[in-house]
Structure 1
Amino acid sequence: MQIIPAIDLKEGCAVRLRQGLMESAKIYAKNPEELARHFESLGAKFLHIVDLDGAFAGIPKNRAVIETICKDSKLKIEVGGGIRDEETIKAYLDLGVSRVILGSIALKNPEFALQMAEKYAVVIGIDAKNGKVATEGWAESGGTLAWDFAERFRGSKVEAIICTDIARDGMLSGINIEFTKKIQDKSGIFTIASGGLSCEADFAALKEAKINGVIVGKAFYEGKIDLQKAFRTFK
């Protein structure tokens, strides 16, 4: 099971939100570059970065920070937030990002996402409120069911799906395993759980459910888990 620590960027700082609300942002590090190096020292192989400002604006807003992290670490980095066109995808990959996350644009234009996955390392981000896909930095929620959307990518070149239950994100209330498992089963694609990890027992539950990976955010920042131990135990 892949354990992937997360850095969410807002105005150049590493923050965490509650249920995707920008006004709830709590700053955990004013130097995300040092934080990335710390994750690497603990044993991380992967890093999940979200440009929160970019997600709302629809264009990258924290590129300089991401570029520095790419240069300073050997981590395999996935980046999401404000990626809406091929030019931005290519620009991020040229920086040294390992793969890009398509969210809002994938829902609006699934064919574009599928085409990009044929050419580049693409991950689909599926963020859901009450089971329905949300977009534009989680500010908008439509009528598309998350698992139906996930099934759209079955058999494609998409490398992974990251699925988030927004109601649990930043709440330390536990991963929605049933939701994640349904996405994994419907898509047949490597699926990474996100939103709500609260303690080490959650890792065990995810592994028992044969979930492929998990994003670690607030539980680390609030000292609820020993990340170094988790890398050793649940790899």
Structure 2
Amino acid sequence: MQLVPVLEIRHGKCVHTEPKNSFANQVVKEDAFEVVKRWSEKGVSRLHIVDVDAIESGEPENVDLIGKIKKAFPSIELQVLGGIKCVESAYIWADIGADFLVLNGRAIRRRNLLDDICVEFPNRVLVELDCQKGLVGTRSGEPAYELLSLARQLEDDGVVGLVVTEIPEKGGSGGANLIDIVEISRNVEMPVYANSRIEKLADLKKILESHTEKLSGLLIGKALHNGLCLSEANDLVQQYHAN
């Protein structure tokens, strides 16, 4: 299992957005490139990049910057989310070096597009899903999908990985609860990455103690800008893998 830092980019700057509200953001670093350089020096091998501008506009935006990052750090795998609403948009990210293309939850309602992108980019498509109590919601009035069943369908369709967020119930704290994500990671062959909402090392320790050995990775975002030491977090992961 690896730790995957989340880099959210808006107007070329590294930001932190509030969950499901890309318009509410805080600039945490003026130079996003420098953030990646620092993470690279700590041994990061994979990044989850969110083009916040692309989510807002519906098409790739921070293309030059993300291409610059890939060129400078070719050994880091980039999985890029944002603005993939057609095959042509997917080609834009692929052409600047994105290793994996991340489609958001709308992809499950646009299966023809998902199929087309999987055909054009075999072994490179991930899907991001939000779940609550084992269900993946859709638009109001539409039936929800059962998470494990949907994961298996997506795997059959050619998706090669999932990025999953467990949404806490109203009044719940969420945090390090990954019960449903761990369950699907045990029942599909493709990699599953959990949006972990880790805030401190104690949260990471709790996750590592909860039989998460099948998880491929944990996404970490805000905590890395709020004082969590990436080196210490990686050391903790290695410690549990060695036991």
TM-score where L is the length of structure 1: 0.84
Matching residue of 1:112: 113
Matching residue of 2:24: 24
Amino acid at match of 1:218: K
| Gap regions ≥5 residues in structure 2 | 239-243
| Gap regions ≥5 residues in structure 1 | none
SS at match of 2:197: coil
Is the contact between residue 166 and residue 174 of structure 2 (CA under 8 Å) also seen in structure 1?
A: no
Is the contact between residue 102 and residue 123 of structure 1 (CA under 8 Å) also seen in structure 2?
A: yes
Moved more, 147-156 or 24-33: 147-156
Matching residue of 2:33: 33
Q: For the residues of structure 2 that align with 1:81 and 1:130, how far apart are their CA atoms?
A: 26
| Higher-Rg member (1/2) | 2
Is the contact between residue 4 and residue 48 of structure 1 (CA under 8 Å) also seen in structure 2?
A: yes
Q: For the residues of structure 1 that align with 2:94 and 2:72, how far apart are their CA atoms?
A: 15
Amino acid at match of 1:24: A
Matching residue of 2:241: none
Q: For the residues of structure 2 that align with 1:22 and 1:156, how far apart are their CA atoms?
A: 29
Amino acid at match of 1:122: V
1:197 is displaced (CA, Å) by 1.2
Matching residue of 2:224: 220
Matches within 5 A, 1:55-94: 55-74=55-74, 75-94=76-95
SS at match of 2:205: helix
Aligned identity (percent) is 22
Matching residue of 1:193: 194
Amino acid at match of 2:162: I
TM-score where L is the length of structure 2: 0.81
SS at match of 1:154: helix
Matching residue of 2:128: 125
1:117 is displaced (CA, Å) by 2.5
Is the contact between residue 60 and residue 93 of structure 2 (CA under 8 Å) also seen in structure 1?
A: no
Give CA deviations for 1:152-200 in whole Å, capped at 9, x if unaligned.
21344322100123559xxx95233113124434544210000411222
Is the contact between residue 6 and residue 48 of structure 2 (CA under 8 Å) also seen in structure 1?
A: yes
Q: 1:58 to 1:20 in 2, by over 3 A?
A: same
Amino acid at match of 2:225: Y
Q: For the residues of structure 1 that align with 2:28 and 2:129, how far apart are their CA atoms?
A: 25
Q: 1:62 to 1:131 in 2, by over 3 A?
A: farther
Matching residue of 2:11: 11
RMSD, aligned α-carbons:
2.7
Is the contact between residue 105 and residue 127 of structure 2 (CA under 8 Å) also seen in structure 1?
A: no
Q: 1:52 to 1:67 in 2, by over 3 A?
A: same
SS at match of 2:144: strand
SS at match of 1:196: coil
Q: For the residues of structure 1 that align with 2:81 and 2:180, how far apart are their CA atoms?
A: 21
Higher RCO, 1 vs 2 (CA within 8 Å, ≥6 residues apart): 1
Q: For the residues of structure 2 that align with 1:61 and 1:143, how far apart are their CA atoms?
A: 33
Q: For the residues of structure 2 that align with 1:153 and 1:65, how far apart are their CA atoms?
A: 31
Matching residue of 2:212: 209
